[in-house]
Structure 1
Amino acid sequence: MVLKRILAAHEQWFDVRRGYEYAGRTFPGYAEFHSYGEKYVLVKSAKLWEVDTHEYLFFVLADALDETQVRDLVSFMEHDGLKKVVPKPNHMSSAISLVIVADSCTQEAAKAVRKTRFRKNFALGIRGWADLRVAIADLSANRVITNAAGKQLKTTLEANLLPRS
């Protein structure tokens, strides 16, 4: 039920898919967001710059989330999730995001998520970068745990943890 609310909250801005298969795994939810921006002077042919930003958001369900599962999922995101990023000339940044909706979560799993750091620069940053965002929606404690890059996910997740009255 919580995942359904979270996916619905993303549908306005993201392309949302349910039952998404990728790299040998099935995710109950997946969402993509793509943005394009440009700046020009007086006429569009006098373009100063243009940039593309993206977010690839993978959703996972877990009963009792532990540190081993977190490390496995983070490793998957750092290798296979990163393959979603295509650093074309106008690529500025991409977020590869992982949201784990867990019935319960160990302290070790929460600590592993908080400590997760990953950034990949493309062509020494000329072709942009990708950051890994990780969040756990811990249903047993009604809390959201994120890594530093994942703090942007927290508001939406917290807003959808409890059913609306």
Structure 2
Amino acid sequence: MVTSDAYLQELLRRYQANFDVTENYKFGEILFPAYAFFHSMSEKYVLKKEAQLWAVKTFEHVFFIKETSFSPKKIDEIKELIIQKIEPEFVRKNEKYPEKDHMISYITFVVLCDSAPDSETKKMIKKFHFDKGYLLSFRGHSEARLAVATMDTKEVYTNYVGKELKSLLFDIYKKMEELL
């Protein structure tokens, strides 16, 4: 069986190509096994930099969690954490709106779970939703992704906006099987 520690190390190795990764990340009273941050800025000029037509900034904050089991209560805790602390501090920097040229901020939670969730929890994972616009979307928006990878059944469950994480998370299982 694949362990969550080995799985996490392979996952972080892949994230390190494009993200700044911090292991044992402490946020307030919560200790995450890891946190990854990505920032991208695109801009368009006319002839010289002073004549900027547009600029957009994209961010992603990825929080990794290890759990023995995953329940609806934990989903509610994650959503509350996003609403009360992560979105205000990481996206808006405790201001009313995000910085100028902000386009989108993804808040991603990747949960590595020892056992598969029950059917009710699977439904809640799929329906998990957080999307917040700023200043009628002139300052962009933020949305949350949730992905749960199970170590016992080697399955991956995501919400709608997190579905693009599935291929990466399944690929880690394949890589781990090759190593065994």
**Residue number in structure 1 paired with 2:77:** 72
- Is 1:71–1:112's contact at 8 Å kept on the other side of the alignment? no
RMSD: 1.3
Deviation at 1:133, TM superposition (A): 0.5
The 4+ residue runs of structure 1 with deviation greater than 6 A are none
**Residue number in structure 2 paired with 1:148:** 160
Aligned amino acid, residue 26 of structure 1: L
Pick from 84, 102, 109 the counterpart of residue 91 of structure 1.
Answer: 102
User: What is the alpha-carbon distance in structure 1 between the residues aligned to residue 156 and residue 47 of structure 2?
Assistant: 46
Normalising by structure 1, we get a TM-score of: 0.94
Aligned amino acid, residue 85 of structure 1: V
Deviations 1:119-146 (A, max 9, x none): 0111121111000110000122211111
Which stretch shows the higher mean deviation, 107-116 or 40-49? 40-49
- Is 1:101–1:139's contact at 8 Å kept on the other side of the alignment? yes
User: What is the alpha-carbon distance in structure 1 between the residues aligned to residue 168 and residue 121 of structure 2?
Assistant: 21
Normalising by structure 2, we get a TM-score of: 0.87
Deviation at 1:78, TM superposition (A): 2.7
- The yes-or-no answer on 1:45 pairing with 2:50 is yes
What percent identity do the matched residue pairs reach?
33
Deviations 1:78-97 (A, max 9, x none): 32221210311111110011
Deviation at 1:110, TM superposition (A): 1.5
Higher helix share: 2
- Is 1:63–1:102's contact at 8 Å kept on the other side of the alignment? yes
Q: Unaligned regions of 5+ residues in structure 2, if any?
A: 1-5, 93-97
Deviation at 1:109, TM superposition (A): 1.7
Pick from 2, 5, 17 the counterpart of residue 12 of structure 1.
Answer: 17
Deviations 1:25-55 (A, max 9, x none): 0000100000000011232222110111000
Q: Unaligned regions of 5+ residues in structure 1, if any?
A: none
SS, match of residue 136 in structure 2: helix
Aligned amino acid, residue 141 of structure 1: T
- The yes-or-no answer on 1:123 pairing with 2:129 is no
- Is 1:67–1:106's contact at 8 Å kept on the other side of the alignment? no
- Is 1:77–1:98's contact at 8 Å kept on the other side of the alignment? no
**Residue number in structure 2 paired with 1:31:** 36
Higher strand share: 1
Deviation at 1:62, TM superposition (A): 0.5
